[in-house]
Structure 1
Amino acid sequence: MTSIRFIPEWEKQSAVLIAWPPGSGDFAPWLGDVEQTYAAIAAAVSRRETLLIACLDPAHERRIGEILKNTGVDDNRVVFIRIPYDDIWVRDTAPLSRLNDGRVELLDFRFNGWGGKYECADDAALAARLVAAGIFGRTPRVAVDFVLEGGSVETDGLGTVLTTSHCLLNPNRNPGYGRSEIEACLSETLGADRILWLDHGKAEGDDTDAHVDTLARFCSEHTIAYTACDDESDPHHAPLKAMERQLQDLKQRDGRPYTLVPLPIPQPIRDEEGRRLPATYANFLIVNGAVLVPVYGDPADSVALERLAPCFPDREIVPIRCTPLIHQYGSLHCMSMQFPEAAGVSRP
């Protein structure tokens, strides 16, 4: 029995990290709307735990401070970290947390810009720089010579990892690695003794090669919420139905099927060129006492919120308007990373 355990999102947390978008970055055309979404997330998180905000320099920090005034943010729980970054999707660039013989370790996997799509030198160094900044106290960083993004793996906390073959088997990540080699790496680094592979499904407009956090999420060791589509005219229909059938065939350790909760996909939201953007409700974030759920001003918002509520009976369901975020092809879970209670988060 391995002593390593990949910590699930629903366990007690010490902090959540976000990286505030700069005025000159990719979000510049929608910056005001994006910052309103960030402020809403900052308020929801800081009411419940420490919020780590990565920013670029003192001027950027002052701007963020001004934006957060009168938004309900708990200033006593906000920690600014001045650090360089290329993009704001810290789910994929910040370290993952595991227990090793009961001690938290921060795993720094290699990051290659989602398969070489983007410049990423600062993002690739983000995890090491965060640890070096001292915000995690004595919690050790473990460098892993394997490309893996946090949004590509889900865990039940009991040794099961849920992922997608379209992402992890893509040769743009770890060329030459087959399924068995990847499973061996996940076993060694995350303590995974069961890998559940999804071979179908992708949110149109997603440039991560089908991260599982846009498609299917553990809500508990027994329950998986997933992106579903019943509209036969929608291009998502056939691949998501195939994914649904795979999920129905998956079994828990005791042989029982999982409790499956379908989350409807919103009506198409398109950019200025008419391209569909990757809006899904599966990209929620679990924090202490709450679940922050992305909403998009669509009738399906209320359906998703209603279906998720019974999955988290002891947590408040908090809708967050995330339409501005998907203009850069990610949503709420993609732009955040949680750290467990024992990670030793403190002011540097």
Structure 2
Amino acid sequence: MIKSIPEWSEQEYLMLSLPHEKSDWKPYLDEILQGYKEFIKAVSEFQKVLLIAPKKSDFAPFENIPNVEFFVCDTNDTWIRDFGAIDILENGCLKALDFTFNAWGNKFQSQLDNAVNSKLFKEKFKEELKKIDLILEGGSIDFNGEGVMLTSSHCLLNENRNSHLNKTQIDEKLKEIFGLKQIIWLENGFIKGDDTDHHIDTLARFITPNTIAHCICEDEKDEHYLPLQEMKKELEETGFNLVELPLPKPLYYENRRLGATYANFVFINNALIVPTYNDEKDKIIIQRLSKALPNRKIIGVDARVFLRQNGSLHCSCQNRFKGPR
């Protein structure tokens, strides 16, 4: 029996791939490393963190943070949510799945990132890693833990991923791989500045088995307003409880609008880390999620620098769950 795992399940590690001098972060490396440091410090109070980087010297800013381990491995980029192994339950034991990563439709170099899992599981975890012949990113899917998956048609059905498969074939394949009874395919919604072809973790996420938190836009003149209204209508038809996450005011870097979204939050043991953007809505979002998740501590972490490379907090990490393997 196969079962998908919701992200609020108990974790052994939160894994992160660090920015480094050979990555696209080089022009503002000190700034993003400070952002990672604040994020990692917040997480390490609750659970272990595993950091991945090409050289031991890359770990220097983090060596005095407790609850942190290190693994040396060459990488192209930092968005381990999309190339990191994805855990499932198979007959009560955790199994790690290694999908093919092609950098969101061959937009960037990805050979090193696509090889991280093999090296990590061989040298660090010393356990079996099951290779799956399918292009899939972790940020494009989200589970409620009871057999339902949430995704975006624009991403999973994009010709730059698995063009040899149609929607029915992909639906059936994912149901088999993750032990699903239902896939919710959202046809609407986007976040300007996201270059992943509409990853679901920028738009709508399960926060309990029966509740979805989703983005909305309150400015009728904003280009997000209508697409997110249409997405909301789709979600209302699912029968799940809904929590609205209004977008912050537009943020720009070098005259380019950045993909600021509160849906890119991160579940960790006993807490939820929420990206913040120095916006008046930061407090509103934290209060709203605190009400929806009364048994978790809700913590805000400034994610503005993360946005410069088109991601946020959830994109930067991957969960390794705790349990028998």
TM-score (norm 1): 0.91
1:133, CA displacement in angstroms? 1.7
Partner of 1:280: 261
SS in 2 for 1:146: strand
1:89 maps onto 2:70 in alignment: no
Given residue 26 of structure 1, which amino acid in structure 2 is its aligned partner? D
Cα displacement string for residues 190-247 of structure 1 (whole angstroms, at most 9, x for unaligned residues) = 1111000100011001100000000000001111000101211100001000000000
* 1:151-300 paired onto structure 2 within 5 Å: 151-250=139-238, 257-272=239-254, 274-300=255-281
CA displacement, residues 160-196 of structure 1 (integer Å, 9 cap, x when unaligned): 1100000000010001211111111111211111000
Q: CA deviation at 1:36?
A: 1.5
Query: Which residue of 2 is the match for residue 148 of structure 1?
Result: 136
Q: Secondary structure at the match of 2:208?
A: coil
Matched ranges for 1:307-322 at <5 A: 307-322=288-303
Task: State the partner residue of 2:39.
Answer: 41
Shift of 1:64: 2.8
Alignment check: 8 A CA contact 1:37 1:324 kept: yes
SS of corresponding position for 2:42: helix
Give the % identical residues.
37
Distance 2:43 2:115 in 1: 25
Per the alignment, residue 32 of structure 1 pairs with 30
Offset of 1:306 from its aligned partner? Answer: 1.1
Contact 1:295/1:319 (8 A) holds in 2: yes
What letter corresponds to residue 263 of structure 2 in structure 1? Answer: A
- Deviates further, 24-33 or 191-200: 24-33
Deviation of 1:86 after TM superposition, in Å, equals 0.5
Number of the residue aligned with 1:254 = none
Partner of 1:324: 305
**Aligned partners of 1:14 and 1:343 also within 8 Å:** no
Instruction: Kindly state the Cα deviation for residue 338 of structure 1 after the two structures are TM-superposed.
Output: 0.9
Q: Secondary structure at the match of 2:88?
A: strand
What residue in structure 1 maps to residue 110 of structure 2? Answer: 120
2:61 partner letter: I
CA distance in 1, matches of 2:23, 2:108: 13
CA RMSD, aligned part only? 1.2
Query: CA separation in 1, counterparts of 2:205 and 2:21?
Result: 32
Q: 2:266 & 2:232 partners in 1: Cα distance?
A: 22
| Corresponding residue pairs, total | 325
- Counterpart of 1:314 in 2: which secondary structure? coil
Instruction: Tell me the secondary structure at the aligned position of residue 301 of structure 1.
Output: helix
CA-to-aligned-CA distance 1:249-308 (integer Å, 9 cap, x gap): 11xxxxxx2110010101111121x12110100000000011000000011111111111
| 2:50 maps to which of 36, 52, 59 | 52
Which residue among 89, 97, 119 is the counterpart of 1:99? 89
Does the residue aligned with 1:134 lie in a helix, a strand or coil? helix
Instruction: Name the structure 2 match of 1:333.
Output: 314
Secondary structure of 2:220 counterpart: coil
- In 2, are the aligned partners of 1:50 and 1:78 still within 8 Å (CA)? yes
**Normalised TM-score (structure 2):** 0.97
Q: Which amino acid counterpart does residue 152 of structure 1 have in structure 2?
A: S
Cα deviation for residue 343 of structure 1 reads 6.2
> Is structure 2 residue 68 aligned with structure 1 residue 78?
yes
Which residue is equivalent to 1:8? 6
Shift of 1:153: 0.3
Which residue identity does 2:253 align to in structure 1?
A: D
Deviation at 1:58, TM superposition (A): 2.2
What SS is found at the alignment partner of 2:298? strand
